[in-house]
A = this chain, B = another copy of it.
Amino acid sequence: MTYHVQINVMPLKDLLDPQGKAVMGGLVNLGIKSVNDIRIGKHITLEIEAESAEAAKQIAETTATKLLANPVMEFFEIEVVG
């Protein structure tokens, strides 16, 4: 069966997020002051051929750990959407 899996890789909460800071500066330049915080990470969608949702999640976790996220700076969340 084909499972659709989403992974979000985000900068760790305690670390500076230079991309987010840059966009925040852009917002101020646009006159928008109601945004308190903005953080920018990666959104990855995968189509995985697997026997169960659990197996698909396992493959996504391997992918995230080995290829997508740098644990020194980032954390990730995995969701099997169907």
* B32-A63 in contact (CB<8A): yes
Binary contact track A21-62/B, C-beta < 8 Å → 1, others 0: 001001100101011111111111111111000000001001
* B59-A23 in contact (CB<8A): no
* B59-A32 in contact (CB<8A): yes
A-side residues, CB < 8 A to B, are: 2, 8-10, 20, 23, 26-27, 30, 32, 34-50, 59, 62-63, 66-68
A48: min CB distance to chain B, Å: 5
A67 to B41 CA separation, bound complex (whole angstroms): 15
Closest residue of B by beta carbon distance from A20:
B44
Given A42-B42, A43-B42, does the pair A36, B23 have CB atoms closer than 8 Å?
no
